Amino acid sequence: MSVRMRTAIVTTLLLACLAACSSGDDGGAVGDVAPVATPATDSTTTTSIAPTTTARSTTTPNVTSAPSATDDSLPSVVSSAPELDADPPVTPSGYELVAATVTAADGEVCDVCLWLADTADTRRQGLMGVTDLGDGDGMAFVYPAPHTGTFWMKNTLLPLSIAFFDDQGTFLDAFDMEPCTADPCPVYPTAADFSIAIETTQGDFGELGVGPGSRLELTDLSCP
């Protein structure tokens, strides 16, 4: 084989190889994996990422509250402070109790027991400071002669009724008197020319038979 022929054969083989290599670059071979396309993004666009926040629980925490004052589970509180005794009653002191009878207008006779105030000092003191008549039904203010004057309620704590009788024991008049809250205390004019005045707790004259048409007989005997 001549040199020229060899050169031609080699040249032909080289061209064939170059052609084969060139065709492999233009087309993909079967089985090649196509590249994954990535979406294009605007390089100037800023992607805002919301900051992650931790949600606060809206559930109210369990708080143990102090029981209310009316909670039935609480023990009852009983005051141990001792009760103070009421003031003892104050009864007339320094007076004698004497028996008397009242004959009512209808003839009914009532036996009564009266504290006797027959001196200037005892009449002046009267029922001042007294809170209870004790064993007496009232107090008899006895004057040595027919008398006209006034009564008042200074330092007197009980509401009183007062009745006036003449020297024969005949009923003259009666009215109520209230404890004194003013200064000076008001005065109550008496019936004219009375000899005995009877004071008792306000409203008690009905039980004693004292009223218009009644008569009083005061004795010097002690009450039975």
pLDDT at residue 86, rounded to an integer: 78
Residue 102: the pLDDT is 99
Choice between 75 and 11, residue whose per-residue pLDDT is larger: 11
pLDDT exceeds cutoff 90 at 57: no
CATH 2.60.40.10 fits 96-222, yes or no: no
Is the pLDDT at 183 greater than 60? The verdict is yes
For the chain, domain boundaries: 96-222
The pLDDT of residue 224 = 87
pLDDT at 19: 53
- Cα diameter, the chain: 199
- Phi, psi torsion values for 21, nearest 5 degrees: -65, -40
126: left (phi over 0), alpha (psi -120 to 50) or beta: left
What's the whole-model pTM score?
0.63
- Residue 212 corresponds to which tokens in the numbers above? 């218009």
**Does residue 65 surpass a pLDDT of 70?**
no
